[in-house]
Amino acid sequence: MLRGVEKLEIGTADIDDLSRYPDNTHTNNPIQPHDLDLDLVSEFKSLAEGNAPIAYVFKMYGRLLSYAQTFERNPTFREEMDAPYGDTRARFNPKNRGQFLDYHYRGGRSIFKSYHKTGGEHHPVEHYLEVASAASESNNVEEFLKARREVLDYLER
């Protein structure tokens, strides 16, 4: 999101500068140290300091979702087409799969989504919208474009 920054420096933050939860509210502190790859740091710097165009995948996903929703007549289904942030990415992560599904089938997930434990099939638009959502959250342009193509091909037949 940063563009045209004159100079960007990435370094280690002092632990006292970071938000933390008291030990009694969370068993695992979500703040963990990260060692950033020097190539990634260089990429961040060149993106922020440069002026080359950037593909904002999250904006592209928002437009795709709005377009797909115009094809749905049922207002409840239309509203449920958008997954909460992190929902699909967590479901697509094999490490989280069992835990995530158990949580959602205790009532946290919409009854209108077709994904279920018995291996039922997604509707193609629903499936590829979820792929596009996960790709937008990880800023994976290539994966998003593939999913968008599938959604558009189905809708525009």
* Sequence letter at residue 32: Q
Confidence of residue 95 (pLDDT cuts 50, 70, 90): low
Tokens of 151: 């959604």
User: For 42-86, how does the pLDDT look when each residue is reduced to its tens digit (9 = 90+)?
Assistant: 888 887 888 777 788 989 999 999 999 999 999 888 888 887 887
Check pLDDT > 90 for residue 149. yes
Question: CA-to-CA distance for 156 and 142, rounded, in angstroms?
Answer: 21
What does DSSP assign to residue 6? S
Domain edges within the chain: 1-53, 57-155
Tokens of 132: 């596009």
User: For 6-29, how does the pLDDT look when each residue is reduced to its tens digit (9 = 90+)?
Assistant: 887 877 777 677 666 555 454 555
Within 8 A by CB and 6+ apart from 96, the residues are: 90
User: What pLDDT score does 1 carry?
Assistant: 62
Question: CA-to-CA distance for 38 and 52, rounded, in angstroms?
Answer: 21
Question: CA-to-CA distance for 140 and 142, rounded, in angstroms?
Answer: 6
